[in-house]
Chain A
Amino acid sequence: MAVVLIRAVILYVVITFSLRLMGKRQLGELQPSELVVTILISNIASIPVEDSSMPMIMGVVPILTLVCLDVIISGIMLKSAKFRKLMIGSPRVIISEGMILQREMRRLRYTVDDLVEAMREQQIFDINEIHYAIVETTGKINFLKKKDFQNAEKQDISCGGSTENPPSVIIRDGITDNEQLGLLGLGMGWLKQQLRENDVSEKQVFLMVADKNGKNTIIKRQEGM
């Protein structure tokens, strides 16, 4: 049993390292090659954990091989557009200027139901609202609505205003994030002054957020926490 436990721990470290090596993109969206690697890793990893008669290296070597190949192939795709097209294909237009391109839909093996479902997912219930529809390489369909059906934006109603800076967390659980403080360009002196004005010490702060203009919110730690 100890062997199984140690193997599970080692494989956890190897898989975590592997996913880290594959990068953040892997966690968000899956290209066909990445999907293959992810499915294979989950299957390969379980074998040496379950079967203690098999050396663990038999699981580790294929996992690392697949991940390394995936990273190298991603690198080549970054350099070569032709190779990228070969590996992941290219986005396809299925509705152009309001017209459904039925031949293209058939080529992609997309049914009308797939299209309608994708529309509903994006809160579009009338096909007449769509100007363009594009099937991305991940298989997701993105729509561009006709001008008449697009939501009005501030510039459309001539309502200006500068872009706001999103606030960042600068103290979490009594610990100051010096990096964020530096990025906001506020400095330690400013922070100490704010804490003094609010009559709290750094340790008493549960959460403090601030933006580049120095506008901040302080949430004190509750008693006994």
Chain B
Amino acid sequence: MSRIIVSIVILTLMSVGCFISVKVMDNFTYKMSQTVSRVEETFENGDSGECVAAAEELKQMWYDFMDFSILVNDLGHAVEITSSVAEIESFARDNNNEIYAACDRAQAQIKMLRDTQSPTFWKIL
């Protein structure tokens, strides 16, 4: 009987943990998307100081998140995002127009990261 109770407890804890991780990922990717949009907006407005600050904030956010890399089950994908985030910061400093393409790429990668973690019916299949 104690084995069954231990199993139920472990299963419950893991289920809770897994669904919390989905929520954490959802919140984080939403915040990252917002920050990428802010980088684009400030660049468009010509506010380069604010743009660089937002790009640095974006990079720091991502690095902090990577401390909990267990939430990302595809390291290749994480490397791609790291690269995009670094590019955005670099383009922001150089005032380079390619920042638009880098931001769009980062947005797509972040969306994909969020999508891969959501347990939808089709994804489970």
Closest to A70 in B: B7
Tell me if B6 is interfacial: C-beta within 8 Å of chain A: yes
Report the count of interface residues on B (CB-CB < 8 A): 17
Q: Is the CB of B3 within 8 A of A71?
A: yes
Q: Is the CB of A64 within 8 A of B73?
A: no
B residues in contact with A75, CB < 8 Å: 1, 3-4, 7
Q: Is the CB of A23 within 8 A of B11?
A: no
Tell me if A55 is interfacial: C-beta within 8 Å of chain B: yes
| A interface: dominant SS | helix
Query: Which of B4, B8, B76 has the most A CB atoms < 10 Å from its CB?
Result: B4
Closest approach, in angstroms, between the C-beta of A62 and any C-beta of chain B? Answer: 10
Closest approach, in angstroms, between the C-beta of A64 and any C-beta of chain B? Answer: 6
A-B contact pairs, 14 of them (CB 8 A): A21-B7, A53-B74, A54-B73, A55-B69, A57-B70, A64-B10, A64-B11, A65-B11, A68-B8, A69-B11, A71-B7, A72-B7, A72-B11, A75-B3
- List 18 other contacts, CB 8 Å, given A71-B6, A75-B3: A53-B74, A55-B69, A55-B70, A55-B72, A58-B73, A61-B14, A64-B10, A65-B11, A67-B7, A68-B14, A69-B7, A69-B11, A71-B4, A72-B4, A72-B7, A72-B11, A74-B4, A75-B4
B residues in contact with A65, CB < 8 Å: 11, 14
B residues in contact with A56, CB < 8 Å: 70
Tell me if B18 is interfacial: C-beta within 8 Å of chain A: yes
- The chain A residues found within 8 Å of chain B, CB to CB, are 21, 23, 53-58, 61, 64-65, 67-69, 71-72, 74-75
Pick from B6, B8, B76: contact of A53, CB under 8 Å: B76
Closest to A56 in B: B70
Q: Is the CB of A68 within 8 A of B11?
A: yes
- The chain B residues found within 8 Å of chain A, CB to CB, are 1, 3-4, 6-8, 10-11, 14, 18, 69-70, 72-76
A residues in contact with B69, CB < 8 Å: 55
Could you tell me the distance between the alpha carbons of A21 and B4 in the complex, rounded to whole angstroms?
Answer: 9
Closest to A78 in B: B4
Q: Given the interface contacts A61-B14, A61-B18, does A68 sit within 8 Å of B7 by beta carbon?
A: yes
Closest to B15 in A: A65
Q: Is the CB of A64 within 8 A of B14?
A: yes
